[in-house]
Amino acid sequence: MALYVQKYGGTSVGTVDRIQGVADKVKGFREAGHDIVVVVSAMSGETNRLIGMAKEMQSQPSPREMDVLVSTGEQVTIALLCMALEARGVSARSYTGGQVKIMTDDVHMKARIQDIEVDNMRTDLDKGRVVVVAGFQGIDPDGNITTLGRGGSDTTGVALAAALKADECQIYTDVDGVYTTDPRVVEGAQRMDKITFEEMLEMASLGSKVLQIRAVEFAGKYNVPLRVLHSFQEGPGTLITTEEDDTVEKPVISGIAFNRDEAKLTVLGVPDIPGVASRILGPISRANIEVDMILQNISADNSTDFTFTVHRNDFAVAEEILQQVKEELGAREVIGNNKIAKVSIVGVGMRSHAGVATKMFDTLAGDNINIQMISTSEIKVSVVIAEKYLELAVRGLHSAFDLDAADTVSE
């Protein structure tokens, strides 16, 4: 008999009926003799609804109060699921993150888990109870409620699985596994039986929201067997694994990730002297804005252009900061564009193949899509393009790299 940590996402607990469905499923696992710890998200749309209400109160609510607010969504679903389980004769007990003692640092809205107390959970499991834990939240050393960033229930699941040394962490969601790209964008996307941690980490960090990046990091670090499955359909799902499969010929590209949440800023005509990058990006990082890609042109006349990308939510604040920096540096102009998207091809097979980037650029050129920025690493190539071409680019690349399922033809 095994110990499973099962995480059910927002859509899977999005209605009372679906919560009943999850309860039926968990009951089945109990009847098969397994020990189960369940992590649930808030009902789908709930976290966004709470954030929307907060914005009506104050334009920049304090992160501490945001966490008190948004953590409530998961408190609703843990209690409802326990009731549904008890109604089925399955003994169950719910815990908020703070009650379990999921200890985090004090960085509100993107806290990191530091420690988890397992004693209460073990006692419950020993008494034959299902333990139901609120995803996405913890408590800091001063007792403040913290949350783990959007999609953070995945990380709660993996962290609990690591702490309890579970046999598997199962992420149940509204797709039946990890696909070569988002199946909602490319009809011919294919489910993978396995994907390496390394590739999954890239996919997640480049925008594939099927798993939160920190969950993948955590699973890799603590060797947690991790699987993505459909909540209400049978199937093997996708196993995230450390082994690179040597038995089959590896595809050069495993998957395509994309991200619409980016914005681009450029300072034109900055003097080409030492320290400029730090004078531009210093104030940006002090405002807690994360920078993704950075590009600086060579200069012909002792002045240059400096471009970088940030999350779209940070665009307005970053632009304001740059106006100030422009004055200080005597730069010519600040321009910005928040209608961009990043498309990335990912695959460990790239290491041993030349010409992958060129094939990507040729494909985009064939569709008349202009590349605005490029960045590469050992197992990925990313480009920034106009957002309106995103779907076209992803579909074109998916078929150019032979990822389409055999029975679909993409135009």
Residues at the contact surface with Mg ion, assessed by CB under 5 A: 9, 151
Cα separation, 328 vs 73, in Å, equals 45
Looking at beta carbons only, is 174 or 272 nearer to ligand ASP? 174
Selected binder of ligand ADP within 179, 197, 308, 315 (CB under 6 A): 179
Cα separation, 206 vs 210, in Å, equals 11
Tokens of 278: 């730090």
73 near ligand ADP (CB under 6 A): no
151 near ligand ASP (CB under 6 A): yes
The contact pattern for ligand ADP, residues 240-279, with x = CB under 6 A and - = no contact, is ---------------x------------------------
Cα separation, 152 vs 148, in Å, equals 5
Strands 130-134 and 92-95: parallel
- Shortest distance, CB of residue 48 to ligand ASP, whole angstroms? 7
345 near ligand ADP (CB under 6 A): no
178 near ligand ADP (CB under 6 A): yes
25 near ligand ASP (CB under 6 A): no
Other CB atoms closer than 10 Å to residue 324's CB: what's the count? 11
The contact pattern for ligand ADP, residues 22-41, with x = CB under 6 A and - = no contact, is -------------------x
Instruction: Transcribe 176-202 into DSSP letters.
Output: SS-BSS-TTT-TT--B-SEEEHHHHHH
3-class SS at 40? strand
Residue pair 259/206 in contact by the 8 Å Cβ criterion: yes
135 near ligand ASP (CB under 6 A): yes
- Shortest distance, CB of residue 10 to ligand ADP, whole angstroms? 4
Give the side-chain half-sphere CA count within 13 A for 354: 0
List of residues 6+ apart from 49 with CB closer than 8 A: none
Binding site feature residues for ATP: 7-10, 173-174, 179, 184, 209-210
Using CB positions, name the residue nearest to ligand ADP: 9
Cα separation, 396 vs 399, in Å, equals 6
Looking at beta carbons only, is 94 or 173 nearer to ligand ADP? 173
Residue pair 276/322 in contact by the 8 Å Cβ criterion: no
Cα separation, 147 vs 10, in Å, equals 16
- Shortest distance, CB of residue 350 to ligand ASP, whole angstroms? 30
Binding site feature residues: 7-10, 47, 74, 173-174, 179, 184, 209-210
Run of H or E residues at 217: helix 213-221
Looking at beta carbons only, is 149 or 251 nearer to ligand ASP? 149
- Using CB under 6 A as the criterion, which residues of the chain lie in contact with ligand ADP when the complex forms? 9-12, 41, 151, 173-175, 178-179, 181-184, 208-210, 255
- Using CB under 6 A as the criterion, which residues of the chain lie in contact with ligand ASP when the complex forms? 9-10, 41-42, 47, 73, 135-136, 150-154
